[in-house]
Chains A and B, each alone.
Chain A
Amino acid sequence: MTVARFWRHLPQRYNMVGTKCETCGRHFFPPRTFCPDCRRAGKIVEHKFKGEGTVVTFTVIHTAAEQYSMLTPYVLAIVKLEEGPQITTQIVMDPAKAKIGMKVKSVFRKIATDGESGIIHYGTKFVPVE
C-alpha cells in the first residue's frame, strides 16, 4: 500500500476511530461518511471504538501474499465489535486454539513491510481475552 493511501487511515488504523450515525445510532468501522440506512438524513460523527469483540468466523492462512508470508500460518478472522460493525483482522495467537465465538480485544501491532526497504505499516490486530 502506498504511503499516501496508508497515512490517510492513520487515526482509524492506530486508534480504531470509526464513525457513528447520530440519526439511527448505527456504528461504522471502517468509517463511512454516508449512512446507508438514513442516507442524507443521517448525521455522521466520529466514534472511538472500545476494541472488544467476538470472532464470527476465521481461517488459518498458510499461503499468503508476499508481504505477509513471513507471518504464516496466521489467524485471519471476522470480528464483530461490541458496538455492532464487523471487521476483518488478524488474531495474534496459536492457530490451533482459534475458535468461533472467542472473545478478543484490540492491540497495536506491525501489520506488514512494503518490500525490503519499504515503510513499515502498523495497525490494529486482536488477541484472545483470557
Chain B
Amino acid sequence: MRDVAVIGIGCTKFGEKWESSFRDIFVEAGALALADAGLSGEQIDAMYVGNMSAGRFIGQEHIGALIADYAGMTGKHIPSTRVEAACASGGLAFRQAVIAVASGMEDIVVAAGVEKMTDVGSDESTDTLTGAADREWEGFMGATFPGLYAMIANDYIHKYGMTREQLAQVAVKNHYNGARNPIAQFQSEISLDTVTKSTMVAEPLRLFDCSPVTDGAAAVIVAPLERAKEFTDTPIKVLATAQASDTIALHDRRDISTLDATVAAGQRAFKMAHLTTKDIDMVEVHDCFSIAEICAIEDLGFCKKGTAGKFTADGETALGGKIPVNTSGGLKACGHPVGATGIKQVCEIVQQLRGTAGKRQVDGAKIGMTHNVGGTGATVAVHILGRV
C-alpha cells in the first residue's frame, strides 16, 4: 500500500444557509480545497461524497453525479461516488478516498461531505435523522435521536454517577472553542447555567446538550505522499484509517453506554499507526450530544470508563489540557451538517498539524485523531493524521 497525504482542505461556514443551495455550498467547499492545494479541476481523478439524506432533506438523490457536475468535473468523466453511513458519511468518504489512493488505483482524490438540513421544518428533520437508527423497532416506538442518546446518558449516570454539571461542561468547553473558530455556527461562549437551564428535550438532555440542525460542506484532497510535495509544503500524512460497525438498534448492544464500534475502530487505528493514546496531541470526537463526547473519550482510551465527567470538568479536555478534545468546537458549536461533519473533523486536524488553527492552536501539535459516528454507534470511522 502507498502512503497517503492530505494536500488541501476547504470548509464553508456552517449554519443556516437559507440563501445558498446544496450545490452552492458544495462548490464553495470544493473550490476552497482546490485553491488550498493549488490544483486545477482537471488534475482530479476521483471523488467520494459523504451525504446522509439529501433525498429527504432536499428531495435530491444521485448526489455523486450532481456534485461532479456542478464542480465542473464532467468533462473528464471522473468516477464520483456517494458514500452513506448516516452521520459517519463524511468519515467514510474520507476513508474511501484514502483507500483509493493507497491501493494505487487513483492518484488525486477529493473526499467531500455535504448536507443541507434547514430546507425542511424541524418535524421533518427529526424524522429524517431517526432513519439513522432502527426505523421499524426504535423510531416506530417513539424514539427520537436525542431520546436514544438520553437513554445512553441515563444508563451512564446510573452506572458511574456523573453529575449534571460535569455533563454540561462538554457543551461549555465546545462553545469556548467554537467561539475561536470562524466556520462555527455558534461563536459565543456559554455558561453552565445556559446548559442546565435550557429547554428539556429528552431527560436528562437539554437543548444545549444537543448539536443543531445545520447546513454546510467540507472537502479535502488526498494524494500519494510521494507526490504531495508537488502541491504543498505541509502535507499531512494519513497514519491510520479504521472503520467498525455494530448493531443498528441501541437496544441490541452488549452495554448501552459503551460504543463497541468506537472501541474496535480506535484499537484498529492505533494498531495500524503503531501508536497509543499518549501520542495523540488532540482529537475531534463525535459530540452529537454531550454524552456522546463523554463515551467517545473513554471508548477511545483517553480516560478510564466512568471517569470522563470528572476528566472534562477538571479541564483535561480543554485547550491546554492533557488531551484537547474538539478544538474546532465540535458538532455542538460548529454545527452538525451530518454528511459534512467527518470531513470537517479532518480539516480541523490538518489545520492544527499545519499550525494554522489561530486562537485554538494546540502548541507543537504533531499527531491528531478524528472520530466520526453514524447513528447511535452502528458505524464508526477513526483516522489518525500526522505531520511529515
* Selected interface stretch from B59-67, B173-181, B244-252, B379-387: B244-252
- B142 x A68 contact (CB < 8 A): yes
Give the chain A neighbours of B205 by CB distance below 8 A: 59
For the complex, give the distance between the alpha carbons of A63 and B203 in Å. Answer: 10
Q: How far is the CB of A100 from chain B (nearest CB, A)?
A: 5
**A 64-107 to B, binary, CB cutoff 8 A, 1 in contact else 0:** 11101001001011100000011111100001000010000000
For the complex, give the distance between the alpha carbons of A76 and B205 in Å. Answer: 14
* Nearest-neighbor residue (CB-CB) of B137 within chain A: A30
- The yes or no answer to B313 lying at the interface (CB within 8 A) is no
Give the chain B neighbours of A57 by CB distance below 8 A: 151-152, 154-155, 158, 256
- The yes or no answer to B127 lying at the interface (CB within 8 A) is yes
Indicate the size class of the contact surface on chain A. Answer: 20 to 34
- A123 x B130 contact (CB < 8 A): no
* Nearest-neighbor residue (CB-CB) of A99 within chain B: B158
**A:110-126 near B, CB below 8 Å:** 111-112, 121, 123
- A90 x B141 contact (CB < 8 A): yes
For the complex, give the distance between the alpha carbons of A89 and B250 in Å. Answer: 12
- B144 x A63 contact (CB < 8 A): yes
- The yes or no answer to B112 lying at the interface (CB within 8 A) is no
Q: How far is the CB of A80 from chain B (nearest CB, A)?
A: 9
Q: How far is the CB of B143 from chain A (nearest CB, A)?
A: 5
- B250 x A65 contact (CB < 8 A): no
- The yes or no answer to B192 lying at the interface (CB within 8 A) is no
**B 140-167 to A, binary, CB cutoff 8 A, 1 in contact else 0:** 1111101100111111001000000000
- The yes or no answer to A9 lying at the interface (CB within 8 A) is yes
For the complex, give the distance between the alpha carbons of A87 and B96 in Å. Answer: 34
Give the chain B neighbours of A62 by CB distance below 8 A: 199-203
For the complex, give the distance between the alpha carbons of A76 and B203 in Å. Answer: 10
For the complex, give the distance between the alpha carbons of A63 and B209 in Å. Answer: 14
Give the chain A neighbours of B141 by CB distance below 8 A: 76, 88-90, 111, 123
- The yes or no answer to A127 lying at the interface (CB within 8 A) is no
For the complex, give the distance between the alpha carbons of A86 and B139 in Å. Answer: 15
- A59 x B123 contact (CB < 8 A): no
Give the chain B neighbours of A1 by CB distance below 8 A: 135-136, 140
Indicate the size class of the contact surface on chain B. Answer: 35 or more
* Nearest-neighbor residue (CB-CB) of A1 within chain B: B140
**B 106-139 to A, binary, CB cutoff 8 A, 1 in contact else 0:** 0000000000000000010011001000111111
- A76 x B142 contact (CB < 8 A): yes
For the complex, give the distance between the alpha carbons of A30 and B248 in Å. Answer: 12
**A:8-37 near B, CB below 8 Å:** 9, 30
For the complex, give the distance between the alpha carbons of A118 and B178 in Å. Answer: 44
Q: How far is the CB of A88 from chain B (nearest CB, A)?
A: 5
For the complex, give the distance between the alpha carbons of A86 and B140 in Å. Answer: 16
- The yes or no answer to A40 lying at the interface (CB within 8 A) is no
For the complex, give the distance between the alpha carbons of A30 and B137 in Å. Answer: 7
Q: Which residue from A56, A58, A61, A123 sits with its C-beta under 8 Å from B140?
A: A123
For the complex, give the distance between the alpha carbons of A59 and B154 in Å. Answer: 7
For the complex, give the distance between the alpha carbons of A64 and B147 in Å. Answer: 9
Q: How far is the CB of B155 from chain A (nearest CB, A)?
A: 4
- B256 x A56 contact (CB < 8 A): yes
- B127 x A78 contact (CB < 8 A): no
- B138 x A88 contact (CB < 8 A): yes
Q: How far is the CB of A28 from chain B (nearest CB, A)?
A: 10
For the complex, give the distance between the alpha carbons of A62 and B144 in Å. Answer: 10
Give the chain B neighbours of A86 by CB distance below 8 A: 251-252
Q: Given the known A-B contacts A63-B144, A78-B256, are A58 and B151 also in contact in the complex, defined by CB atoms under 8 Å?
A: yes
For the complex, give the distance between the alpha carbons of A90 and B144 in Å. Answer: 12
* Interface residue ranges, B against A (CB under 8 Å): 123, 126-127, 130, 134-144, 146-147, 150-155, 158, 199-205, 249-252, 256
Besides the known contacts A59-B153, A112-B140, 14 further A-B residue pairs in the complex with CB atoms under 8 A apart: A5-B136, A57-B155, A58-B151, A59-B154, A60-B203, A62-B203, A65-B144, A66-B123, A68-B142, A74-B142, A76-B142, A87-B137, A88-B134, A121-B140
* Interface residue ranges, A against B (CB under 8 Å): 1, 5, 9, 30, 56-66, 68, 71, 74, 76-78, 85-90, 95, 100, 111-112, 121, 123
The 7 closest A-B pairs by CB, nearest first: A59-B150, A57-B155, A86-B251, A66-B123, A60-B203, A68-B142, A57-B151
Q: List 15 A-B contacts (CB under 8 A).
A: A1-B136, A9-B136, A57-B151, A59-B203, A60-B203, A61-B147, A62-B199, A64-B126, A77-B151, A87-B251, A88-B249, A90-B141, A111-B141, A121-B140, A123-B141
